[in-house]
Structure 1
Amino acid sequence: MSITGALSNALSGLNVTSRSIENSSNNVANALTEGFARRELEVTARSYGGGGQGVRTVGIDRMVNMALVADRRLADAATGDRDTRAAFYQALADATGDTGGGSLLARISAFSASLVTAASRPESQARLQDVLDKAQSLAAGLRAASDAVLEARRAADASIADQIKTLTATLARVQQMNATITEMRVNGRDSSAVEDERQRLVDGISTIVPVREVTRQNGQIALFTAGGAALLDGRVADIAFEPEPGLVAASSVAAGDLGLLKVNGLPLDLAGDGGMMGTGSLSAAFAVRDDLAPAEQARLDALAQDLIGRMAAADASLGAGDAGIFTDDSAAFDPAAPAGLAGRLSVNALADPDRGGALWHLRDGLQRPSEGDSGDPTLLNALAAALDARTAHAANGLSGTFSFSGLAAETVSGAAVALVSAEAEASFASARRDELQALILADGVDTDREMEQLLLLERAYAANAKVVTACDDLLQYLLEM
């Protein structure tokens, strides 16, 4: 080998070694950086005229297992979906389980007990006042539960708008990074740092909508949902949604009261399993707004309707169209407008002294014109018996005969069972996501290995430097001859 050949080999080795040292140092420095992918220098032999002339760097490879990343992103979406559903049922459980004055079932039990107690001494104003207080507490408990459901629907509607805003903004940034990466690669520059940032952005999208990443030319990527809808493929999809700030219990998609998600002008129904968008926090928000919350509202309304009907049927003083102890916003219940009844439930003002009524109406009848025998417990016993009477129900997932407390227990326990199931699914989804993330991190930076590599590179650098020194000495010797 000639001196110039040896010098060329050594200089190329110095260049590759210095870049390798820089790469390993960068790996160590970013070992704890979120979304950083370990880099490896791609090195190949350099040859001229059929002979070896050292080594050269071809590029820098990001060491990422995209199959694991794709599965982790689907797990991110599932986690976001289950967490959203669990949060809804937790809010409902908090409202029915403890709303300041006790659980809904405890309020029902207290109201029933107050009727029995008042019937034992119907002339007692204190016991009649206790019946009124317990009735107002029961109505307040049902209103609180209904308000919690309505607030969950409104929060879900607002969350959908926020998520769409985040999704479209992030997709636009990914599109910009696609262009930047292509430009850097065409100019022979390392685009790894930009690709790391792009991956972090796509990971953020995956909690909202499950995405599949497809590689395109020159380092660009296209993004599709798990259901096949194109979010980004050269251009960003036009995703639009109009929130409904005035959402009420009766609002529904079927009636045209609520906005739908539109992708490139086509409406998509994301309730249920998410359809084209798959499962994610976005589809879960639609499910809460359009399916889960309305179903729970219907159960609460049926419970309120049952209470109104039982109490009205027990009061012989009532005529057609008269309201009983419990009213629909101070009026008789209108069967044509059942939606949101639980949120409008109130105690009849005729029995409330603070609103111009009288307590004796609870004992003698709401529509009785004058006070009757103060010792007559007939109506109080009838009201207590009405609560315990078993009536048939075959709606809202219930089938059978129930007392009022039994119907309430079925309503509350149904939400509790749904909460337990949602939490279990959320826990499983989170565990799966964590396991996949651990597998991804296993391919990340191993600082011990990188430090070992740095020691080997130091020796390689020193060996190449010695060759350069030897070549220099030989050239000096030749020049001095």
Structure 2
Amino acid sequence: MSLTGALSNALSGLTANSRAAALVASNIANATTESYGRRSLDLSSRPAGTLGGVAIDGVRRNVDVAVLSDRRLSDAQSGFADNMQSFASGIETLLGASDEAGSLTSLYSAFENALLSAASDPSSDQRLASVALAAEDFTEKLNGISDEIQLQRTAADRAIAADVESLNTALGRVKALNTAISESLISDGDPSALMDERQRVIDEVSAILPLRSVARENGTVALYAASGTVLLDQTIHSDPVTIGFTPQNPVTAHMTLDNGLLSGLEIDGFAIDSSNDGPLGGGRLGAQLQIRDTVAVDMQAVLDGIARDLIERFAPGGPDTTLASGDPGLFTDGGAAFDALDETGLAGRISLNPLVSPDGNGVWRLRDGLGAATRGDVGDARLLQAYSGALDALQLPGSASLGSGTSSFSQHVADFHSAIAAARVRADGEQSFSSAQNTALKELELSKSVDTDAELQDLLRIEQHYAANARVISTVDELMQTLLNM
């Protein structure tokens, strides 16, 4: 080999080692950076007919595609579970523990006990006022739970709008990055940083819905929902799909997706199934749709059924014989008689009849009847006892949401409380599983990324190679100096 060939070989080695050392430094510096793909140098021998040496073919970005795909699907599952657990936990906290002061069940127990206490001494206005106060506290608790359910639906509606905006923005960013990466590869550039940014953008929205990334030519990727719905595929269409949604603020009990008062999702202007089982379900977006359109609606329906059952147990034809047909009973729909065709949202409107308000002077009507013109026998406890009997009576509920079996009113309250607690327990279990799975996949992804120990070992080998090439150049220089001095 000539001195020129030896020098050329050594210089190519120095260049490759210098580039490799820079990549090692970048890998170590970004060892804990999310969405960073470990870089390595692709080298090959120079082709025959040249002076020899090593050629740099490019920089390879190393990512385990299978693990990355599984982790993204897990992100969506975890996002769904987190949102469902947060909703269930919030409603359960609002109801309160059964033995906790101010909880739904304790307030009902207080109403029952106040009735029994008043029946034992019906002449006591103080005890009658306690009945009115306990009844008012219970109805206000129903109002508060109903209001919170609608606030949660409103929050879910806003979250859907925010997620749709984030998705549309992310799809546009991925398209732009696809173009930049393709141009970089065509011009023999290093698009690794652009690929990191593209992965980061996709990762940011992977909790919104389950995404699958499919490699295309020139380093581009196509994005699909787990359902197979195309989100971005530039081999089919140059632009990503546009997801449409119109938020509604506030959301009230009578607004549902089915009656058209709430917006569903659209893709490029076409309505799609907007449930969690639809094309864009399975992640955080699906959870918010599930809360707004299914879980919270069903919960409100049961609560309205409880309010209806309470009103109807004390309505005309019940224990208070002084009431005429069409009169509001002890419990009213916003002060008026209840209309069986207007049950939706009743729990947010139910109130104590103002004739027996604890702040007024009419609590004696709890003993003598709401329609009584004057005070009756102060020792007559029959109506108060009948009120207790009405609560304990096993009867068919007027609301379909409470089922078809006979139950006492206390059983309806207990069943509702138990159902909420059971839903929270299920949500806790699903969240715990999805969180553990997501953590395990993230750790696996990191384990296949940058290993700083391995990088430092590579750096030692690079130093040795660099020193060897530098020694060759030094030797060639000495030989050339000797020749020149001859």
Superposition TM-score, scaled by structure 2 size: 0.95
Aligned residue identity for 1:282: L
Cα pair 1:271 1:284 within 8 Å, conserved: no
Whether the 8 Å contact between 1:326 and 1:348 is mirrored in structure 2 is: yes
Q: Which of residues 390, 410, 413 in structure 2 aligns to 1:408?
A: 413
One of 377, 381, 386 as aligned partner of 2:385: 381
Number of equivalences: 478
| Map of 1:292 onto structure 2 | 295
Match of 1:372 in 2: 376
Compute the displacement of 1:314 (Å): 1.7
Q: Secondary structure at the match of 2:52?
A: strand
Select 1:325's aligned residue among 330, 333, 338.
Answer: 330
Mapped to 1, the partners of 2:320 and 2:273 lie a distance apart of 47
Measured in 2, the distance between the counterparts of 1:402 and 1:137 equals 23
> For 1:402, what is the secondary structure of its paired residue?
coil
Structure 2: which amino acid aligns with 1:19?
Answer: R
Shift in CA distance, 466/353, structure 1 to aligned 2, threshold 3 Å: closer
Deviation at residue 90 of structure 1 after TM alignment: 1.2
Aligned to 2:248: 244
Within-5 A mapping of 1:53-92: 53-92=52-91
- 1:467 paired with 2:472, answer yes
Q: CA deviation at 1:400?
A: 2.9
Deviation readout 1:16-62 (Å, 9 max, x if unpaired): 1111111111111111222211111111111232x771111111111
- Per the TM alignment, residue 397 of structure 1 is displaced from its structure 2 partner at its CA by 6.5
SS in 1 for 2:46: strand
Question: Quick check: 2:305–2:402 contact (8 Å CA) kept in 1?
Answer: no
Q: Which ranges in structure 1 are unaligned for 5 or more consecutive residues?
A: none
Q: Give the conservation status (yes or no) of the 8 Å contact 1:101–1:137.
A: no
Which residue of the partner structure matches residue 7 of structure 1? 7
- Structure 2 residue 438 is matched with structure 1 residue 433: yes
Query: Counterpart of 1:130?
Result: 130
2 CA distance for matches of 1:10 and 1:125? 106
Does 2:451 align with 1:452?
no
Residue type of the alignment partner of 1:61 = R
In the alignment, the residues of structure 2 paired with residue 128 and residue 47 of structure 1 have an alpha-carbon distance, to the nearest angstrom, of: 103
Contact 2:133/2:358 (8 A) holds in 1? no
Deviation sequence 1:356-415 (CA, Å, 0-9, x none): 550111111111122111110010000011111122358436453321111111011111
Distance change in 2, residues 1:353/1:111 (3 Å): closer
Aligned position for 2:279: 276
Structure 2: which amino acid aligns with 1:93? E
Cα 1:209–1:353 change in 2 (3 A) is closer
Checking the alignment, whether the CA contact within 8 Å between 1:316 and 1:365 is kept in structure 2 is yes
Equivalence for 2:447:
442
Instruction: State the alpha-carbon separation in 2 of the partners of residues 253 and 453 from structure 1.
Output: 59
Counterpart Cα distance in 1 of 2:256 and 2:458: 63
User: Following TM superposition, by how much is the alpha carbon of 1:352 offset from its aligned partner in structure 2, in angstroms?
Assistant: 1.5
Contact 1:308 1:327 in 2 (8 A): yes
Rate the CA distance shift 1:122–1:320 in 2: closer, same or farther, 3 A. Answer: same
1:162 aligned to 2:167?
A: no
Cα distance in 2 for residues equivalent to 1:465 and 1:439 = 40
Partner of 2:106: 106
Residue 427 of structure 2: which of 422, 426, 432 is its match?
A: 422
- Tell me whether 1:17 sits opposite 2:17 in the alignment: yes
For residues 299-310 of structure 1, what are the structure 2 equivalents within 5 Å? 299-310=302-313
CA distance in 2, matches of 1:397, 1:463: 84
Gaps of 5+ in 2: none
Residues 1:26 and 2:31 aligned together: no
Q: State the one-letter code of the partner of 1:285.
A: Q
Q: Which moved more, 1:257-266 or 1:311-320?
A: 311-320
**Separation in structure 2 between the aligned mates of residue 440 and residue 410 of structure 1, nearest angstrom:** 45
Q: C-alpha separation between the residues in 1 aligned to 2:427 and 2:97? A: 20
Are the counterparts in 2 of residues 215 and 221 from structure 1 also a CA contact under 8 Å? yes
CA–CA separation in structure 2 for the residues paired with 1:428 and 1:67: 21
State whether residues 272 and 291 of structure 1, in contact with CA within 8 Å, keep that contact through their aligned partners in structure 2. no
**One-letter amino acid of the structure 2 residue matched with residue 329 of structure 1:** G
Q: Which amino acid aligns with 2:302?
A: R
The question of whether the paired residues in 1 share the 8 Å contact of 2:247 and 2:263 is answered with: yes
CA distance in 2, matches of 1:225, 1:181: 22
| 32-41 or 63-72: bigger deviation | 32-41
Whole-angstrom distance in 1 between the partners of 2:101 and 2:336? 25
Do the aligned partners of residues 191 and 272 (structure 1) sit closer, same or farther apart at CA in structure 2, a change above 3 Å counting? closer
Letter in 2 for 1:480: N
RMSD between superposed Cα atoms in Å: 1.6
- Whether contact under 8 Å (1:270, 1:287) holds in the other structure is no
CA contact (8 A) 1:81 1:282 kept: yes
Paired residues of 1:325 and 1:347 also in contact (CA < 8 A): yes
* Whole-angstrom distance in 2 between the partners of 1:157 and 1:77: 18
Q: Do 2:276 and 2:282's aligned partners in 1 also have CA atoms closer than 8 Å? A: no
- Shifted more, 388-397 versus 357-366: the winner is 388-397
When residues 398 and 418 of structure 1 are mapped into structure 2, their CA distance, relative to the original with a 3 A threshold, is farther
Amino acid at match of 2:281: G
> Residue in 2 aligned with 1:199?
199
SS in 2 for 1:53: coil
User: Which amino acid in the other structure matches residue 69 of structure 1?
Assistant: L
- Distance in 2 between the 1:241 and 1:278 partners? 14
Q: Separation in 2 of the partners of 1:466 and 1:410?
A: 84
The Cα shift of 1:220 comes to 1.0
The one-letter amino acid paired with 2:89 is Q
Alpha-carbon separation, structure 1, partners of 2:185 and 2:465: 29
